[in-house]
């Protein structure tokens, strides 16, 4: 595709529900990231996929968060039993290779009521 595509753009959910956020990276990009941006906060690293290597999950804040990347392309970030503190913009980014610039999606604004 022309850019990194994220869906949905907005998601409102109730506390305790599960949500799935989708990221479609640029074709051919081997690296894929998930970040979280909260109001007034920087970009918090969540998880990193690089090619066929095991993902770096060191940024996931709790075991309620998980992500997978199927076929080296599309990725899904799942948040189980959502809490109000999970409310944030979830950004996906991809890059062609190590050290290359990241291309960001427009993000998913998650609101947990």
Partner 1 sequence: AQSVTQLDSQVPVFEEAPVELRCNYSSSVSVYLFWYVQYPNQGLQLLLKYLSGSTLVKGINGFEAEFNKSQTSFHLRKPSVHISDTAEYFCAVSDGTGGFKTIFGAGTRLFVKA
Contacts with partner 1, residue ranges (CB under 8 A): 33, 35, 41-43, 45, 48, 50, 53, 56, 58, 91, 93, 95, 98-99, 101-102, 104-107
Q: CB nearer to partner 1: give 19 or 91.
A: 91
Using DSSP's 3-state secondary structure scheme, residue 107 falls into coil
Question: Minimum distance between the CB of residue 110 and partner 1, rounded to whole angstroms?
Answer: 17
Q: CB nearer to partner 1: give 82 or 95.
A: 95
- Determine what percent of the chain falls in helix, strand and coil, rounding each to the nearest 5: 5, 50, 45
The H or E element that residue 73 is part of is none
* 2, two tokens: 């022309």
């Amino acid at each position: 595709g022309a850019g990194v595509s994220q869906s949905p753009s907005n998601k409102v959910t109730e506390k305790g529900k599960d949500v799935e956020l989708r990221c479609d990276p640029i074709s051919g990009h081997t690296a894929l990231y998930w970040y979280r941006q909260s109001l007034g906060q920087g970009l918090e690293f969540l998880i990193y996929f690089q090619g066929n290597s095991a993902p770096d999950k060191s940024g996931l804040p709790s075991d309620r968060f998980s992500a997978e990347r199927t076929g080296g392309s599309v990725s899904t970030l799942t948040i189980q039993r959502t809490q109000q503190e999970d409310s944030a913009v979830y950004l996906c980014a991809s890059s062609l290779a190590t050290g290359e610039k990241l291309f960001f999606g427009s993000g998913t604004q998650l609101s947990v009521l």
